[in-house]
Amino acid sequence: MSFQKQIVVDCRGHLLGRLSSIIAKELLNGQQVVLVRCEDTNMSGSLYRAKLKYANFKRKKTNSNPRHGPFHQRAPSKILWRTIRGMVPHKTARGAAALDRLKCYEGVPHPFDRKKRMVIPAALKVLRLRPERKFCKLGDLSSLFGWKHSALVERLEAQRKVKSEAFHKKKVAGTRARTASMKKIKVSGDDAKILEAAGFA
């Protein structure tokens, strides 16, 4: 991944562990990363298996005072954030600074719906998991354990997709119109030679 000021990754269709390890490395290298649509992250294995694993994790608490932790996050963005935290030396200054460079969101909130989103091929389920294998979505697991906002996120996403489609159609129409008008332009012979010499042939 080439270094940029900030990269926005669309988590839809990515495998949780593979995505987390790649993002953790990027954060430690100094890259700012924003993860959107965390609820659509995939996990290998059935939902039943994921449920058993999370229930087992939920049992782990401080015996004398459970409020001391460990804390069991319910929201998909927080579960993903904690998975990445486990792959970063977060108790050192370097690790803490790396985690500060990470932002995780459900859905695609305002500033990022206007930005170019990327995928990470090395973490995509379709490329990494055999088609007959079971998998589940992080959002479904969260809903089973008390995350209450899946319907809200779904509604907001539906609204965003309508706006996004309208913008895309407008952009495509604009590009076509520009290409058509470029073809109609007649350039004189002298100007054509100058353009050719400048590399615009």
Q: List Cβ neighbours of 90 (8 Å cut-off, separation of 6 or more).
A: 96, 98, 99
Per-residue pLDDT of 74-86, as tens digits, reads 999 999 999 999 9
Beta strands in 120-198 (DSSP E): 135-137
25, pLDDT greater than 70: yes
**What is the largest distance, in Å, between two alpha-carbon atoms of the chain?**
88
User: Treating both helix axes as pointing N-terminal to C-terminal, what angle do 93-100 and 16-28 enclose, rounded to 10 degrees?
Assistant: 110
% of residues, the chain, pLDDT over 90: 86
Token duo for residue 198: 């400048």
Question: Residue 119 has what pLDDT?
Answer: 96
Q: How far apart are CA 5 and CA 141, in angstroms?
A: 33
Per-residue pLDDT of 146-197, as tens digits, reads 999 999 999 999 999 999 999 999 999 999 999 888 888 887 888 888 888 8
130, pLDDT greater than 70: yes
